[in-house]
Structure 1
């Protein structure tokens, strides 16, 4: 029985294996893209229905949309399936410094991001490109798939080993720290890398990624240990962006020169 369960778990990983189009990283993709997109569309519509959204005619909405429209063609160049997505941008009335991109190209930027950071267009483009990078990298699907595989593994362990509820819960927490959180941090670093590339190809200065994160660092409070976080340490993040900028500057300069 244990051998059968092991083969089943292995088959799930093999069938759901994908390769990231830019970084070449192996990804677990059990969740179908169509299903993940549909769930995202429904959630996005529910958020918009609450009414805490700036009208499309607002200057902030038009600014976010214009920057996003410059980035989308380069996202499609990396992930052609994204040409079929129902791309949409909205600015939400929310004081928190946050932005997001759901599966299927649904993008949101909070007013807190605009009002409190006062980003330049180049800095705002880094925010949007980072979120678009999450979307075309399938990070939402990947997180869902990891959660599904963890639950499958725990179910197998419970069936085979007879784990009680308390032990299963401890195993679930351990899996979160050992698997889910490191994957989440890797996805953030991946979105930084891909986002920097998208923004550079769209003609936005890569150096703005550093000034943006310096602003973010000034706004942020005391962070806990990185191994308990979904995001990389901000200082290390800035260092990695600084190392990547020399590779991105020729791409940016070519994009600017070609406009």
Structure 2
């Protein structure tokens, strides 16, 4: 029975994969040319992103935490400007996105870039890691890379595929609630988590190339994760996580930094 369900689910996945594969960016020097599953439309994702972004900004305004420190805001926006000028290396249309860059005063160690170029950096990540401009460029380049490659759209598409597949298999096989739960768990660890880890690695690669092209030393991307690792805190095993471990990330970024270093040298001339 288990083999039958897996074959049925796999067949459903294969049919959709074959019909909905695309790539959102040029490869760049780091080779970001993997085909992506895109079931959810770009318009749907951007509309959702705009609504979410507006809500975050409205809440920050209300709490008095939006763009409080003019010096920090200017610094973040200057780094963003330099990075955005290089996005054409991966996709020309992104040069004309409605980019917006804001800073929220909060202890959260995070930053993000929504589809369409809506960026928020939290002061927590700048202060906790004592980021230099180059290290800030590594963080922001990584987040911009997620938007360029439309990873959130790809993740939403894989979730849509997973849920649709579960519904199809459940209907045909007459699974009960427990069966549905188990199938969902299997799909999570064979689709959702591997995609998420690959997204993080891909964003590291593209982000490091962006910062190098913008004239920031790509070795500083390694320094960011050395600092992140030094913050401490428990980490769940990599196989169970949506993010690569700090150790594997540092090792990978060390190699990528070497690969894109000539771009940095050219930008500095």
TM-score w.r.t. structure 2 length?
0.89
CA distance in 1, matches of 2:11, 2:241: 32
Q: Please identify, of 191-200 and 47-56, the stretch whose mean Cα deviation from structure 2 is larger.
A: 47-56
Structure 2 spans left out of the alignment, 5+ residues: none
Task: Deviation per CA, 1:71-108: give whole Å up to 9, x if none.
Answer: 11211331122234221111112202111111111111
Tell me the equivalent position of 2:150.
Answer: 138
Question: Are 1:12 and 2:42 counterparts?
Answer: no
CA distance in 2, matches of 1:37, 1:143: 14
Question: Are 1:169 and 2:181 counterparts?
Answer: yes
Q: 1:147 to 1:5 in 2, by over 3 A?
A: closer
Q: Please identify, of 237-246 and 139-148, the stretch whose mean Cα deviation from structure 2 is larger.
A: 237-246
RMSD value over aligned CA atoms? 2.0
TM-superposed CA distance for 1:7, in Å, is: 7.2
Summarize the alignment of residues 83-232 of structure 1 with structure 2, pairs less than 5 Å apart.
Answer: 83-232=95-244
CA distance in 1, matches of 2:188, 2:11: 23
TM-score w.r.t. structure 1 length?
0.93
Contact kept, 8 Å, 2:21 with 2:38, in 1: the verdict is yes
Summarize the alignment of residues 19-58 of structure 1 with structure 2, pairs less than 5 Å apart.
Answer: 19=23, 20-22=25-27, 23-50=32-59, 51=61, 52=63, 53-55=65-67, 58=70
Q: Please identify, of 73-82 and 98-107, the stretch whose mean Cα deviation from structure 2 is larger.
A: 73-82
Contact kept, 8 Å, 1:71 with 1:198, in 2: the verdict is yes
TM-superposed CA distance for 1:167, in Å, is: 0.9
Contact kept, 8 Å, 1:203 with 1:255, in 2: the verdict is yes
Residues matched between the structures, number: 256
Please list every run of at least 4 consecutive aligned residues from structure 1 whose deviation after the TM superposition is greater than 3 angstroms: 2-11
Contact kept, 8 Å, 2:8 with 2:169, in 1: the verdict is no
Contact kept, 8 Å, 1:15 with 1:30, in 2: the verdict is no
Structure 1 spans left out of the alignment, 5+ residues: none
